[in-house]
């Protein structure tokens, strides 16, 4: 089955070169020269299998575009940008991007990241065992429940909107509840073996996940930071 990509890039030459290179790799490509037209495409035809987004797009920048996409879609998003400042990387990930590649790049790097993102879709980590409900927080009024069968996370009767990356992070931590997982271990399990990205990606996604599942994200009780080692999920606190 052909993988469909949407490239959002305002430089015509860069967009054309990326389109041709990815088509040579077997991808089906749609293009948008700005964020506004990209969002219209998503509204009309639904999300593709992945988005490739530049940050410098004109009236609506890439950060805003990603946030708008994340309102309705869990589609994997890779940022490809000449901006390599730490602040920009973290800001893009916090907006909802799954990965970040700096220009100049080799097309093999882009395709490797795309393959890793696609492999995250199936199976989810919780599928290694029989589907079950995991009670991550025993709050009497609104317990936090991870259902590996349905692939959902609920706080009481409310289903929480987690991205695929956040869901897989939570599954991996829950599978190893009570044990510390290093950032590198989480990178390899969630972002795929052989991933060569920055460990800051883990910290940013953990921070975003906490805002959705913790009763008080400033004082996390479910996902605990173990200084110098990594993260540990504590059940039933």
Q: Coil, strand, or helix at residue 108?
A: helix
Per-residue pLDDT at 101 exceeds 50: yes
Length of the chain: 237
Arithmetic mean of pLDDT over the chain: 86
Same domain, 66 and 17: yes
Q: Please indicate whether residue 130 or residue 9 has the higher confidence score (pLDDT).
A: 9
Q: Please indicate whether residue 236 or residue 190 has the higher confidence score (pLDDT).
A: 190
Same domain, 22 and 85: yes
Condensed to tens digits (0 to 9), the pLDDT of residues 62-85 reads 999 999 999 888 888 999 998 888
Helices 107-119 and 12-24: crossing angle in degrees, nearest 10, is 60
Same domain, 141 and 202: yes
Q: Please indicate whether residue 125 or residue 146 has the higher confidence score (pLDDT).
A: 146
Owning domain of residue 154: 125-233
Please report the pLDDT score of residue 127 as a whole number. 45
Final residue before a domain boundary, out of 95, 119, 143: 119
Same domain, 72 and 19: yes
Condensed to tens digits (0 to 9), the pLDDT of residues 170-209 reads 999 999 999 999 998 998 888 764 455 567 788 988 998 9
Count of alpha carbons within 13 angstroms of residue 174, beta-carbon side: 26
- What CATH number is given to the structural domain containing 65? 3.40.50.2300
Final residue before a domain boundary, out of 86, 119, 152: 119
Same domain, 82 and 134: no
Please report the pLDDT score of residue 125 as a whole number. 45
Please report the pLDDT score of residue 121 as a whole number. 53
- Mean pLDDT for the stretch of residues 88-100: 87
């Amino acid at each position: 089955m052909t993988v469909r990509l949407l490239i959002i890039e305002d430089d015509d030459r860069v967009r054309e070169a990326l389109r041709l290179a990815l088509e040579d790799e077997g991808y089906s490509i749609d293009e948008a020269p700005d964020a506004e037209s990209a969002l219209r495409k998503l509204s009309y035809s639904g999300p593709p299998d992945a988005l490739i987004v530049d940050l410098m797009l004109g009236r609506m920048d890439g950060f805003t575009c990603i946030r708008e996409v994340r309102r309705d879609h869990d589609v994997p998003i890779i940022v490809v940008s000449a901006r390599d400042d730490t602040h920009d990387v973290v800001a893009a990930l916090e907006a909802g991007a799954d990965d970040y590649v700096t220009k100049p790049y080799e097309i093999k790097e882009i395709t490797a990241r795309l393959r890793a993102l696609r492999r995250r879709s199936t199976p989810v980590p919780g599928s290694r065992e029989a589907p079950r409900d995991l009670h991550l927080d025993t709050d009497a009024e609104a317990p936090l429940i991870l259902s590996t069968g349905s692939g959902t996370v609920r706080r009481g009767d409310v289903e929480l909107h987690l991205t695929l990356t956040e869901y897989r992070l939570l599954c991996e931590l829950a599978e190893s509840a009570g044990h510390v997982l290093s950032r590198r271990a989480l990178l390899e399990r969630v972002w795929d073996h052989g991933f060569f990205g920055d460990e800051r990606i883990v910290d940013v996604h953990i921070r975003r996940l906490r805002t959705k599942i913790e009763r008080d994200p400033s004082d996390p009780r479910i996902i605990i930071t173990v200084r110098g080692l990594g993260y540990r999920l504590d059940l039933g606190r």
